[in-house]
């Protein structure tokens, strides 16, 4: 009762939109209903005329006219807004729904009560005499006849063949015969195709009408279904749909839907139910990538871009500009990076050269003192050698000769030690930091400075403990810093009535501290702030590089160099070197040389 009441109310609502009568006759509005004629126009009119006659009788204010045609014809008519409703297969309805916002009002159902969701399928047939065609897998590289590539039956069969590894468009040779579908049988009979695809139940219909022999054809890949009188080769899908296009007025669509649902069919008529869920049809099209799910169907990329060619051109130009900009920036960054690396390498080489020049400068300043120091052992060697000659010539005092030869060896070792220290100090070796005992380094530096101190009658009070924790450093660079500070102190006290320098090495926390103090006149006003600047000097003829390079060397070792101006007189320099880790200390202790006794007064 509720269904009938809803149908009556919907019909009354539609009557409210009928045109007003003029005189004694009511003016009827023509409603065009497109019908898919897969068996031809005459067959379509015979099949669907009862439905349209029912609608004309139920809704007298409208005149429903049938327009039969193919899929392409009906699609064009919908695009041209020349149809109000359609009766078509589920695949065509899906395309109209996605492309033109069509909606299903009802779904066809079989009179025998089979579910509307399993009403439509396809049969793949072959002549019975073709014994070589028994299974669907036998269709590879065969000619396959069908109505059209967009026919629902062909697409349903495509899914089944794809699941068996056969793509009808690549692994077979499709032959499309057009409408009506009975033409597929004619092609098979003529031998122009090996197998054919038709709508389910069409073969049984043609046999019943005498248009095909009962044993003339057989169905390949038969599936069990709820349709006892039909043989199918594919899954079953929802039945045909009665479709309203987007432009159809909603009250009229509701009235037609209510009338279809209330239709009481007679013999040979169709029955309509609530619109089914066509999700299975959507899954079919998505699986085979057909219709709305084809990546590109009739249009190519150029066709899609042509309406937007100006915007696409602007976007393309912007993309090219951006790519060119990125390439240019990358080139500039690479070029600047290379220039910076070259500048850093050049600066490093200059630092090495300046350090070597400072070392040579120090040696130049100490050259006369070193020559005097070497001259003493050479003079002693000469004196001992002459004495040995005289004694050997007289043939006397062999023991005295042996003692003189021993003293000659001692003096030669002393001269060789001086030369060795000079060569090691002047040699241009690359910096190499390694664990070492700081006491031995400072004592070697004092030994190198000893001739200069003696030549200038300078007293050096040195306190270098015999046991100090190892440091990780470059030996020559630490000697260089020590000699530079000692040489600066010597120049500061030169001209003083009493010349003295104090050199103290001690441990303070986690660092070794070396202190050089003098009793000179102290720093000039304003010199303290610029003391470590490169090329700044207070000495006539000085380069101004000694303290700058000394600070760089100490900081490269993780330490620091500072100056403290004494409150009374003179200047004090301190440089700190961090103590080595325990592992480095063990290595230094294993390789540590014997340390000579400390120099108390030079």
60 compared with 295, residue with greater pLDDT: 60
3-state secondary structure of 93: helix
| Rounded Cα distance, 521 and 489, in Å | 11
Output the six-digit token pair for 266. 């007679």
| Domain finish residue from 428, 456, 491 | 428
141 pLDDT band, cuts 50/70/90, is very high
Strand-by-strand arrangement of the 29-36 sheet: 62-69, 29-36, 85-88, 241-244, 103-109, 271-273
Give me the pLDDT at residue 548, please. 74
Give the pLDDT confidence score for residue 3 in this predicted structure.
Answer: 42
Shared domain for 351 and 337, answered yes or no, is yes
Closest CA to 439 of 417, 459, 409, 468: 468
Pairing of strands 62-69, 29-36: parallel
Q: Do 570 and 446 belong to one domain?
A: yes
Q: Which two tokens stand for residue 419?
A: 């030369």
Kindly tell me if the per-residue pLDDT of 25 is higher than 50.
no
Give CA–CA dist 498/307, Å, rounded: 101
pLDDT cut 90: percent of the chain above it: 25
Going by pLDDT thresholds of 50, 70 and 90, the confidence category of residue 523 is confident
Mean pLDDT, range 222-234, rounded to an integer: 78
Residue at a domain's end among 283, 298, 313: 298
Residue at 234 is within a domain: no
Say if 182 falls within a structural domain: yes
Share the mean pLDDT of the chain.
Answer: 79
Closest CA to 144 of 183, 180, 188: 188
pLDDT tens digit sequence for 79-100: 999 999 999 988 889 889 988 8
Task: Tell me, yes or no, whether 540 and 444 share the same domain.
Answer: yes
Average pLDDT of 128-152?
91
Beta bridge partners of 435: 472
Cα separation of 16 and 11, whole Å?
A: 9
pLDDT tens for residues 239-271?
Answer: 889 999 999 999 999 999 999 888 877 665 678
Task: Mark whether 414 and 306 lie in a shared domain.
Answer: yes
With respect to residue 126, please indicate whether it lies within any of the assigned structural domains: yes
CATH code for position 24: 3.40.190.10
Asked whether the beta carbons of 74 and 83 are under 8 A apart, the reply is yes
Pick from 193, 172, 173: which is nearest to 130 by CA?
193
| Rg, C-alpha atoms of the chain | 56
* 54 and 108 fall within a common domain: yes
Per-residue pLDDT at 393: 75
- Compute the average pLDDT of residues 514-521: 87
* pLDDT score of 363 more than 90: no
Has residue 280 been placed in a domain? Answer: yes
CA dihedral of 200, 201, 205, 206, whole degrees rounded to 10: 40
Q: What is the pTM of this model?
A: 0.45
Please, which pLDDT band fits residue 121 given cuts at 50, 70 and 90?
A: confident
Count helices and strands in the chain by DSSP H and E runs: 17, 18
Residue-by-residue DSSP string for 147-162 = S-TT-HHHHHHHHHHH
pLDDT band at 584 (very low <50, low <70, confident <90, very high): low
* Distance, CA of 575 to chain centre: 50
* DSSP state at residue 579: B
Instruction: Examine the domain organization and report whether 398 and 322 are in the same domain.
Output: yes
Domain that holds residue 327: 300-428
pLDDT tens digits, residue range 318-334?
999 999 999 999 999 99
**Residues 411 and 442 both lie in one domain:** no
Specify whether 245 is located in the same domain as 101: yes
| Alpha-carbon separation of residue 162 from 92, 137, 175, 289, 353 (angstroms) | 21, 10, 18, 12, 79
Domain containing residue 522: CATH number: 3.30.565.10
- Distance between CA 6 and CA 260 in Å, rounded? 12
- Strands 241-244 and 85-88 turn out to be antiparallel
Q: Is residue 227 part of a domain?
A: no
Cβ proximity of 187 and 196 under 8 Å: yes
- Asked whether residue 594 carries a pLDDT value surpassing 50, the answer given is no
> Which is more confident, 228 or 34?
34
Q: How confident is the model at residue 491 (pLDDT cuts 50, 70, 90)?
A: confident
The confidence score (pLDDT) of residue 326 equals 94
Please, which pLDDT band fits residue 313 given cuts at 50, 70 and 90? confident
Mean pLDDT calculated for residue range 387-395: 75
Q: Is residue 458 pLDDT above 80, yes or no?
A: yes
Residue-level pLDDT at 602: 42
Alpha-carbon distance of 428 to 355, in angstroms, equals: 9
Cα gap 281→157, rounded to integer Å: 13
Q: Is 231 inside a domain boundary?
A: no
Question: Could you give the CA distance from residue 453 to residue 371 in angstroms, rounded to a whole number?
Answer: 13
- Per mean pLDDT, which range of 13-17, 348-352, 431-435, 576-580 is the poorest? 13-17
Least confident piece of the model among 172-176, 252-256, 523-527: 523-527
Burial classification of residue 225, based on how many CB atoms lie within 10 Å of its CB (0-12 exposed, 13-18 middle, 19 or more buried): middle
pLDDT higher than 70, residue 184 = yes
**pLDDT score for 7:** 44
Residue 8 has pLDDT above 50, yes or no: no
Peptide bond into 180 cis (omega under 30): yes
For residues 118 and 201, give the distance between their C-alpha atoms in angstroms, rounded to a whole number. Answer: 13
Residue 581 · residue 426 · CB < 8 Å: no
Q: Let me know whether 163 and 103 are in one domain.
A: no
**Total domains present in the chain:** 4
Could you tell me which of 352, 351, 361 has the C-alpha nearest to residue 542? 361
Whether residues 415 and 392 share a domain: the answer is yes
pLDDT of residue 114: 56
Nearest to 586 by CA among 496, 439, 469, 433: 469
Q: Is the pLDDT of residue 403 over 80?
A: no
Tell me the three-class secondary structure of 487-510, residue by residue.
HHHHHHHCCCCCCEEEEEEEEECC
The 10s digit of each residue's pLDDT in 465-476 is: 988 899 998 877
End-of-domain residue from the set 363, 393, 428 = 428
pLDDT at 273 over 70: yes
Structure tokens at 233: 């080769």
pLDDT value of residue 224: 78
Residue 230 lies in a domain: no
Say if CB 93 and CB 237 are below 8 A apart: no
Same structural domain for residues 473 and 593? yes
Q: Which of 291, 273, 251, 286 has its CA nearest to residue 104?
A: 273
96 and 154: one domain?
no
Strand residues in 43-95 grouped as ranges (E):
62-69, 85-88
Interacting residues of 387 by C-beta distance below 8 A, sequence separation 6+: 400, 404
Across 38-47, 214-223, 358-367, 466-475, least confident range: 358-367
3-state secondary structure of 515: strand
Q: Report the pLDDT averaged over residues 186-211.
A: 90
At 410-455, the pLDDT tens digits run 667 766 766 665 566 555 555 577 888 888 888 888 877 787 777 7
What is the pLDDT at residue 10? 39
* 185 within some domain: yes
pLDDT of residue 344: 86
Who wins on pLDDT, 140 or 358?
140
Beta strands 500-508; 511-518: pairing state: antiparallel
Torsion of CA 413, 419, 421, 422, to 10 degrees: 170
Of the candidate ranges 18-32, 443-457, 584-598, the one whose mean pLDDT is the lowest: 584-598
């Amino acid at each position: 009762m509720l269904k009938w009441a809803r149908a009556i109310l919907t019909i009354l609502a539609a009557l409210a939109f009928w045109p007003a009568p003029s005189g004694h006759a009511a003016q009827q509005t023509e409603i065009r209903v497109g019908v898919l004629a897969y068996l031809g126009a005459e067959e379509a009119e015979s099949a669907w005329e009862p439905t349209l006659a029912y609608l004309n009788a139920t809704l007298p204010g409208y005149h429903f006219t049938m327009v039969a045609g193919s899929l392409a014809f009906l699609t064009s008519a919908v695009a041209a807004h020349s149809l109000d409703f359609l009766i078509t297969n589920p695949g065509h309805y899906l395309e109209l729904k996605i492309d033109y916002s069509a909606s299903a009002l009802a779904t066809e159902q079989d009179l025998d009560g089979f579910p509307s969701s399993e009403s439509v399928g396809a049969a793949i047939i072959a002549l019975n005499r073709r014994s070589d065609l028994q299974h669907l897998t036998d269709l590879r590289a065969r000619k396959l006849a069908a109505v059209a590539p967009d026919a629902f039956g062909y697409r349903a069969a495509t899914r089944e063949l794809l699941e068996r590894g056969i793509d009808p468009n690549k692994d077979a040779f499709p032959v499309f015969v057009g409408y009506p579908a009975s033409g597929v049988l004619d092609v098979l009979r003529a031998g122009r195709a090996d197998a054919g695809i038709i709508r389910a139940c069409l073969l049984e219909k043609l046999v019943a009408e005498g248009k095909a022999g009962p044993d003339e054809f057989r169905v390949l890949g038969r599936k069990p279904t709820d349709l006892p009188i039909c043989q199918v080769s594919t899954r079953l899908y929802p039945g045909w749909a009665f479709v309203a296009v987007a432009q159809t007025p909603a009250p009229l669509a509701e009235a037609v839907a209510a009338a279809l649902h209330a239709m009481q069919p007679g013999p040979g008529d169709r029955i309509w139910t609530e619109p089914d869920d066509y999700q299975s049809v959507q899954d079919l099209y998505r699986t085979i990538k057909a219709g709305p799910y084809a990546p590109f169907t009739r249009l190519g990329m150029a066709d899609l871009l042509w309406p937007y060619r100006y915007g696409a051109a602007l976007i393309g130009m912007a993309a090219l500009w951006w790519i060119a900009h990125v390439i240019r920036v990358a080139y500039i960054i690479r070029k600047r990076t290379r220039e910076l690396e070259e500048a850093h390498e050049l600066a490093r080489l200059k630092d090495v050269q300046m350090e070597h020049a400072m070392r040579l400068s120090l040696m130049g300043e100490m050259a006369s003192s070193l020559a005097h120091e070497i001259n003493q052992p050479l003079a002693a060697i000469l004196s001992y050698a002459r004495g040995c000659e005289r004694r050997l010539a007289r043939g006397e005092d062999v023991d005295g000769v042996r003692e003189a030869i021993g003293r000659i060896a001692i003096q030669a070792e002393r001269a060789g030690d001086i030369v060795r220290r000079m060569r090691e100090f002047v040699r241009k070796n690359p910096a190499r930091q390694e664990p070492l005992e700081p006491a031995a380094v400072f004592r070697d530096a004092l030994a190198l400075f000893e001739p200069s101190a003696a030549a200038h009658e300078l007293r050096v009070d040195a306190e270098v403990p015999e046991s100090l924790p190892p440091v990780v450093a470059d030996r020559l660079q630490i000697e260089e810093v020590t000699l530079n500070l000692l040489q600066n102190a010597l120049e500061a006290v030169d001209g003083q009535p009493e010349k003295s320098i104090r050199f103290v090495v001690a441990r303070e926390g986690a660092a070794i501290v070396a202190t050089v103090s003098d009793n000179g006149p102290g720093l000039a006003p304003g010199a303290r702030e610029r003391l470590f600047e490169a090329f700044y000097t207070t000495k006539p003829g000085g380069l101004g590089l000694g303290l700058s390079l000394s600070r760089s060397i100490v900081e490269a070792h993780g330490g620091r160099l500072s100056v403290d101006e004494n409150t009374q007189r003179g200047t004090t320099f301190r440089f700190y070197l961090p103590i080595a880790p325990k592992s480095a200390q063990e290595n230094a202790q294993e390789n540590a040389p014997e340390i000579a006794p400390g120099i108390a007064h030079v």
